[in-house]
């Protein structure tokens, strides 16, 4: 049985939000009605998650707000009668900062029956269950790999070779670092910063150095993190591809000896180190530190030749301009390619995945450079300046990288989405990459790139 009791933690970040001044209907009676919707948030760092059950008629809904906690069950249950559907919608809207997801009813019920098996439910659960048509549910223990059966009934995750899963989990690291932007609750996934204080960590140390103090805590709480990831995957199963990366990371917690081999462990360490820096016992918060951004600290800038060496180890051309061209093609494509896809492709040609530290460092440096690239692509004048200033050989390497991305990721540049100007410039860049003396008409190239940047920035692009 999983219990978060091994570590004293702060108040759960996930708490049901009640409409101001609204009185619940605990014990007020009312007819039982069928369940129409079940929404759930991802679990927070202590394993708490809110479940919203919608029952009753369309014109007069009834809501039940449940607080579930891994290892402890249903901690709170409140029935909220609504005057009309707008009233119900308003209450659900109040929970939007927690990003609750609509679940298929069978998955929602599965979360609840698992919670019933983890401890005596809150005193008001029977009334909430009766009012929302869940009173027939019975406790059924589900934990660990049982959730993989719920998530993946065909057994794809478990029948895939362990090494293949490990490789897939590593290439999902960038996606894991980006989870908080899509799912805000992930931003709470940290260990208690007291683990750093108790270990005597230097508040002035670089964040990456602090990770080593966090990994033992992640190791101690490995079962809880596995459950958090699995239940988060259940919530996202029907709505977002991130469920698969979360399930892979959960499976890795079961299989690897060193938690450093689980990509999400670095995300947890990053958030914990940041909170340590923000505590009164640590150094003050860095005003330039984006609290809503990636959880993984990207480390220092590249040393001379470092990025080139790592690119070569990944089987790519050992030239940063090649990388810039490659990433530009991914970002400006008619069907822009996400991080996970192009990073997986970038790492697929060499042996860098065999060296965990090298792979992590390459990802850090790639993201550093990509962030700078994104800033430039948002400024048409910066695009013109960069094209005008680059030397011929560097422009040729950039063109080779751009062309490599269009050929290695053909789905991002589908023929049916190309305009005549796109075809002309793709041909010109392919020629430039083969012959560095053929310098394309720079103003025209800059104008085309700026146009592509404007097109892909549009919401309907």
Does position 164 have pLDDT exceeding 70, yes or no? no
Q: What share of the chain is helix, strand, coil (3-state, %, to 5)?
A: 55, 10, 35
Give pLDDT tens digits for 89-113: 888 888 888 889 999 999 999 999 9
Alpha-carbon span 44 to 51, nearest angstrom: 13
Least confident piece of the model among 19-23, 37-41, 280-284, 421-425: 19-23
Residue 291 has pLDDT above 70, yes or no: no
Q: 114-128, 148-162, 246-260: which range is least confident on average?
A: 148-162
Boundaries of every domain in the chain: 4-137, 147-278, 306-457
pLDDT, tens digit (0-9, with 9 covering 90-100), for 188-220:
999 998 888 888 888 877 777 888 999 999 999
The vertex-330 CA angle with 324 and 332, nearest 5°, equals 95
- Per-residue pLDDT of 315-328, as tens digits, reads 888 899 999 999 99
pLDDT exceeds cutoff 60 at 389? yes
Q: Which residue has the higher pLDDT, 135 or 168?
A: 135
Q: What is the DSSP string of 145-171?
A: HHHHHHH-TT-HHHHS-HHHHHHHHHH
Buried b (16+ CB within 10 A) or exposed e, 198-213: eeebeeebebbebbeb
Cβ pair 182, 246 in contact under 8 A: no
> pLDDT at residue 461 above 60?
no
Q: Tell me the C-alpha distance between 242 and 183, whole Å.
A: 10
Secondary structure of residue 3 in the 3-state scheme: coil
Tell me the C-alpha to C-alpha distance, in Å, between residue 58 and each of 78, 92, 135, 142, 418. 20, 15, 21, 33, 46
**Mean pLDDT on 10-15:** 53
pTM: 0.62
Say which range, 10-19, 181-190, 261-270, 296-305, has the weakest mean pLDDT: 10-19
Q: Which of 96-105, 154-163, 290-299 has the lowest mean pLDDT?
A: 290-299
Q: Is residue 222 pLDDT above 60, yes or no?
A: yes
Which residue reads 């005549």 in tokens? 420
Placement of tokens 């008001």 in the chain: 124
Q: Write down the mean pLDDT value for the chain.
A: 80
Q: What is the pLDDT of residue 322?
A: 94
């Amino acid at each position: 049985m999983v219990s978060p009791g091994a570590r004293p933690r702060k108040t759960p970040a996930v708490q049901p939000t009640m409409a101001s001044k609204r009185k619940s209907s605990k014990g007020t009676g009312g007819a039982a009605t069928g369940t129409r919707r079940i929404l759930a948030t991802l679990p927070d760092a202590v394993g708490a998650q809110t479940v919203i059950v919608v029952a009753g008629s369309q014109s007069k809904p009834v809501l039940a707000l449940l607080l579930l906690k891994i290892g402890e069950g249903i901690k709170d249950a409140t029935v909220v009668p609504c005057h009309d559907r707008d009233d119900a919608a308003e209450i659900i809207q109040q929970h939007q900062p927690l990003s609750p997801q609509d679940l298929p009813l069978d998955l929602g019920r599965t979360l609840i029956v698992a919670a019933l098996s983890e401890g005596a439910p809150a005193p008001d659960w029977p009334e909430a269950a009766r009012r929302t048509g869940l009173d027939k549910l019975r406790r059924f223990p589900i934990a660990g790999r049982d959730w993989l059966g719920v998530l993946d009934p065909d057994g794809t995750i478990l029948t895939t070779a362990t090494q293949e899963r490990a490789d897939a989990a590593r290439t999902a690291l960038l996606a894991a670092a980006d989870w908080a932007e899509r799912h805000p609750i992930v931003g709470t996934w940290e260990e208690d910063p007291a683990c750093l204080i108790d270990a005597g960590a230097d508040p002035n140390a670089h964040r990456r150095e602090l990770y080593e103090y966090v990994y033992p805590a992640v190791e101690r709480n490995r079962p809880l993190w596995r459950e958090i990831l699995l239940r988060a995957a259940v919530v996202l199963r029907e709505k977002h591809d991130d469920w698969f990366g979360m399930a892979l990371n959960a499976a890795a917690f079961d299989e690897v000896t060193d938690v450093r081999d689980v990509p999400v462990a670095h995300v947890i360490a990053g958030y914990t180190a940041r909170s340590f820096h923000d505590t009164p016992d640590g150094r003050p918060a860095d005003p330039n530190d984006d609290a809503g951004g990636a959880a993984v600290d990207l480390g220092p800038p590249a040393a001379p030749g470092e990025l080139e060496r790592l690119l070569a180890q990944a089987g790519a051309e050992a030239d940063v301009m090649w990388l810039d061209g490659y990433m530009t093609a991914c970002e400006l494509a008619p069907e822009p390619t996400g991080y996970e896809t192009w990073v997986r492709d970038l790492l697929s040609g060499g042996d860098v995945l065999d060296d965990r530290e090298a792979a992590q460092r390459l990802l850090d440096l790639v993201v550093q450079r990509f962030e700078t690239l994104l800033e430039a692509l948002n400024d048409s004048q910066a695009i013109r300046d960069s094209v005008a200033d680059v030397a011929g050989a560097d422009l040729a390497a950039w063109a080779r990288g751009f062309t490599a991305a269009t050929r290695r990721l053909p789905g991002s540049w589908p023929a049916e989405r190309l305009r005549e100007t796109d075809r002309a410039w793709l041909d010109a860049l392919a020629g430039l990459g083969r012959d560095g003396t053929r310098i394309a008409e720079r103003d025209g190239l800059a104008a085309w790139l700026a146009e592509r940047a404007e097109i892909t920035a549009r919401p309907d692009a």
